[in-house]
C-alpha cells in the first residue's frame, strides 16, 4: 500500500479533490488514475498493483449503480480488461 501512496503523492493532479493522500484507498487511486491519468500513469499503476487487481477493482466499481467513470473511459477499460486481464 505504501507504493500506491508514494505513486499518488507524486501525481496530485489525479486526485485533485483532496490533499490527504495517505488516507486514500486503492479504489480511489484506481479511479483517479483511470479517469484522469495518462497511459504511462496507468502502466505504472499496473506495475504496482497488477493488472488483475486493478481490473477487479474497476469491475467492482462499474458494477455498482452509481460510479464516477466517464462513459468513454468506462467503455475503454471494460474492453481493455476483458482482453488483457
**Domain locations in the chain as residue ranges:** 3-84
Nearest CA-CA partner of 12 in 2, 1, 24: 24
Confidence (pLDDT) at 80? 98
**HEC profile of the chain:** CHHHHHHHHCCHHHCCCCCCHHHCCHHHHHHHHHHHCCHHHHHHHHHHHCHHHHHHHHHHHHCCCCCCCCHHHHHHHHHHHHHHC
Across the chain, what does the average pLDDT equal?
94
What average pLDDT does range 66-85 have in this prediction?
96
Nearest CA-CA partner of 51 in 41, 42, 39, 63: 42
The pLDDT confidence band at residue 56, using thresholds 50, 70 and 90, is very high
Dump pLDDT digits (tens) for 31-54.
999 999 999 999 999 999 999 999
Q: What is the pTM of this model?
A: 0.92
Amino acid at each position: 500500500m505504501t507504493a500506491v501512496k508514494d505513486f499518488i503523492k507524486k501525481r496530485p493532479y489525479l486526485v485533485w479533490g483532496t490533499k490527504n493522500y495517505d488516507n486514500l484507498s486503492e479504489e480511489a487511486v484506481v479511479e483517479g488514475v483511470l479517469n484522469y491519468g495518462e497511459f504511462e500513469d496507468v502502466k505504472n499503476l499496473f506495475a504496482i498493483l497488477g493488472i488483475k487487481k486493478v481490473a477487479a477493482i474497476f469491475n467492482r466499481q462499474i458494477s455498482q449503480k452509481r460510479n464516477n467513470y466517464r462513459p468513454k473511459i468506462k467503455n475503454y477499460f471494460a474492453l481493455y480488461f476483458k482482453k488483457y486481464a
